[in-house]
Structures are given as structure tokens and as C-alpha cells.
Chains A and B, each alone.
Chain A
């Protein structure tokens, strides 16, 4: 691994962690468990395009594990891991299809993250949760993923590699 890649990866990991923390400070007005802005997805989407899927997966994994250790529980780790895995998978597929912009990849990532979390909760707590929360979590995934996607698309275009 090149030094620069390592530095970029570390920076993005730190950024994802900070964004996760910032997000935990913002109260969400809608009383549905699992709804989040997904700010950290900004760092992950950026990593997907700037460094590649595997590197983005590393950023995501580091963020999920460290944030769960700092603020979460074993259960929240399970939700987050499941969400992050499904999110990365869908972003990898859409990016590989080469027919979608980073914005759409971010939307898909947001929706998939929510579905992944919901799947874990349905398995661990109660199956009925899935159908009940799926519509609202898909909607919030689209809305938040779209907002993050606009930012991510701008960053991917504007942030240049230093030479």
C-alpha cells in the first residue's frame, strides 16, 4: 500500500468517525428507530470513488466498529455491521454497472443501509418489524441518501489529488 493511500484511508476513517459522532448530537424529529442522516456515508461514498470499493469497505468497517465500541453496544454493532455490509454491496453493484451517477449510488447506499439494519433487528427482535418499518425507512434512506449524494458528488468533482 502506498503511503499516500494509507494517509488518505486514515483521514477518511477519522472523518467518518467524526461525522458519526456529530450525527449522534443531532436529534431527529421523526420517532422511528434507526432513522439517521447517514453523514458518515459521505466519507464512504467519497472513498468508493476516490480509492475503490475495498478501501471504502475498510473505512466503513473501522467507523462501525470504533463507533460501536465508543458509544454503542453489541446489539448496535450487529445492526450497523449488517447495514454497512448491505450498503457497500449495493454501492459496489451500482458502481460496477457504470450506469449510475455517484448521487444515485449514495441514494442506494442509504436505502440499503436502512434495510440492512432493519433486517438485523427483524432477525434479533421480531420479524414483524421488517414490514412495518420498511416503507418509512426506505423513504428516509432515499431522502437522506439524496442529500448526502449531492454533497458527495460535489466533493468527488472538486477535491483534487494533491500532486
Chain B
């Protein structure tokens, strides 16, 4: 590829740099979280303390969230790609598990006034 110009390298370098800074910020800013917040279509459906242990069916059972050892992970899902299951365990603030097909997100947040489990629309 002799047609690549200096500007090209500069552009790609800047893009990679922004990405690297993003990774770094994400790592630095995250701390051990307290709450797993479940959102359905952008609305909070349930909150679970990460100190609890348990298996929680979400969205009428389409996704099953497990909280264990201070980590949250999606144990199963009925979506075709199951990316949410493969995303693994989250425990630091800002971390997210996303299930796009079911319009569902689980985010880890810090301490809140509602650390105890609140039964929202999640308990199918």
C-alpha cells in the first residue's frame, strides 16, 4: 500500500490514541461497585445489591442474572447471539452487560440509598 499518506497514519494514530485513553480511563475510574442496576428499554427495572447471592430471572425470564461473590453475570438468555452471557462477570462501577435483542442492560453502580433488593418489573 504505497498510496497511504502521512495524514492517514496521523488519523489512525489519533483514533487509536483516543481508544487507548478510553480503556485507561475506564480502568482507572472504576472501583468496586455496590449495586447491579437492571434497565429494560432504558427504564430501571430492578436493583440488586452485589453483596447478596442469588439467581434472578429478568424480563419475564428471558435473561437470568446471577450474583455471586460480589460479581454479577448473565447465566442464560433466550436471545440468538447470547453475547450478554459471554460478556462474563462484572463488579466494578461503570461496567455493563448488554443484551441488545432483549433491550436489557445491567450496570454496576456505587452505593445508593436503595441498596436492598427492590422488586421491580424484573421478577418474572
Interface residues, chain A, CB within 8 Å of chain B?
A: 31-34, 73, 75-76, 79, 94, 99-104, 107-108, 111, 121, 124-126, 128-129, 131-136, 138-139, 141-142, 146, 150, 153
Find out whether the CB atom of A125 lies under 8 angstroms from the CB atom of B8.
no
Q: Which of A133, A142, A150 contacts B15 (CB under 8 A)?
A: A142
The answer to whether the Cβ of B63 comes within 8 Å of any Cβ in the partner chain is no
Contact with A along B1-40 (1 / 0, CB 8 A): 1011101100110011011111101100000000000010
User: Given A32-B83, A126-B107: A131 and B15 within 8 A (CB)?
Assistant: no
Inter-chain CA distance A73–B73, complex, in Å, is: 26
Known: A33-B99, A99-B7. 5 other contacts (CB 8 A): A33-B100, A108-B15, A126-B42, A138-B15, A139-B19
Which one, A33, A34, A100, A138, contacts B18 given CB within 8 A? Answer: A138
Residues of chain A lying within 8 A (CB to CB) of residue B12: 104, 107, 142, 146
- Kindly provide the distance from the CB of A49 to the nearest chain B CB, expressed in whole angstroms: 12
Q: B98 an interface residue at 8 Å Cβ cutoff?
A: yes
Distance (Å) between the CB of B79 and the closest chain A CB? 10
B75 interfacial by beta-carbon distance below 8 Å: no
**Of B3, B88, B98, which is in contact with the most chain A CB atoms at under 10 Å from its CB?**
B98
A5 to chain B, nearest CB (A): 26
Measured between beta carbons, the chain B residues less than 8 angstroms from A34 are 100
What residues on A are CB-neighbors of B42 within 8 Å?
124-126
**Could you give 25 example pairs across A and B, Cβ below 8 Å?**
A94-B11, A103-B3, A103-B8, A104-B5, A107-B11, A107-B12, A111-B15, A124-B41, A124-B103, A125-B39, A125-B41, A125-B98, A126-B42, A126-B96, A126-B107, A129-B105, A131-B22, A132-B94, A132-B95, A132-B96, A135-B22, A136-B19, A138-B15, A142-B16, A153-B1
